[in-house]
Amino acid sequence: MIARMSVFLVAVSLALGSLGLRAQTHEDNTAVLATTAYEAVFNTTERVMVVLKTADDSTDEGLALYIADLRGVMDDVVDYRGFSRAVMGNFASKRYYMSLSDEGRANLREQLEAFTEVMSTNLVETYAKGLIAFAQAEIEVVKPEDEVVGSIESVYQKIKRANDEPYLVEYKMRQAKDGSWQLVNVIIEDVNLGDIYRSQFDSSAKRFARALKCESDDSACFEQVVQSVIDNWGKEG
């Protein structure tokens, strides 16, 4: 179980670099558009692994530098806001947003921005530390045998560490109107990244709603619920 969750951590870390991925940058800073979902995942994997192989977590200074380097890669390519909105689920849905007053909508927009900042920091720090154990892992992005045509594609990756059975990771990729590829979801066996975070947010929201004794139509109370989840994100458990 521990090995399985560790592999999940490394897969998520590599996957997050594919969120909103547009291009791989060369030494002259010339951007080359990733024209296929496979190229998007492959390029991101290469970038993250370069950072990982030079990581030094033996000192606080080294760990901080490594996290900063990884953040530099992820900040270029991750749609933190879109990911955070999906994690918030119904609390950031169009239906819920439209049910609010003008003031409530403004407050929800501010909460989304606040959660995006909290979520991005938590993601980078958590997965940076989880990645360390996989510096020597064999990671292969499986090249499709046939040309795949479609706006939504699956790209597969094999992760193998000494004495562990290989794991097959599925990346659900979607092509945007500008031709770039964005990550929709990550699945390892029956472990679904999107479901895990949405479930965590929903569970916390229900707990705070009970504590605050929110009525179903009390939007002001649920605004407090959302704020409580944001304020405690990454601090519980």
In a domain, 166, yes or no: yes
Question: How far is the C-alpha of 164 from the C-alpha of 166, rounded, in Å?
Answer: 6
Select the highest-mean-pLDDT range: 13-17, 76-80, 197-201: 197-201
**What average pLDDT score do residues 216-227 get?**
94
| Dihedral sign (CA 109, 110, 114, 117) | positive
pTM of full prediction above 0.85? no
Give the domain range for residue 14. Answer: 2-192
In a domain, 197, yes or no: no
**What average pLDDT score do residues 125-151 get?**
79
In a domain, 187, yes or no: yes
The residue type at 75: D
In a domain, 149, yes or no: yes
Q: What percent of the chain has pLDDT over 90?
A: 30
**What average pLDDT score do residues 15-31 get?**
45
| Dihedral sign (CA 28, 132, 4, 231) | negative
| Dihedral sign (CA 167, 187, 87, 181) | positive
In a domain, 162, yes or no: yes
In a domain, 237, yes or no: no
In a domain, 231, yes or no: no
Mean pLDDT of the chain: 81
Domain count, the chain: 1
Question: In which band, very low, low, confident or very high, does the pLDDT at 207 lie, cut at 50, 70 and 90?
Answer: very high
The per-residue pLDDT for range 82-114, each reduced to its tens digit, is 889 999 999 999 999 999 999 999 999 999 999
The per-residue pLDDT for range 119-137, each reduced to its tens digit, is 889 888 877 877 777 777 7
In a domain, 213, yes or no: no
Checking if the pLDDT of 138 tops 50, the result is yes
Contact assessment for residue 83 and residue 194, using Cβ atoms and an 8 Å cutoff: no
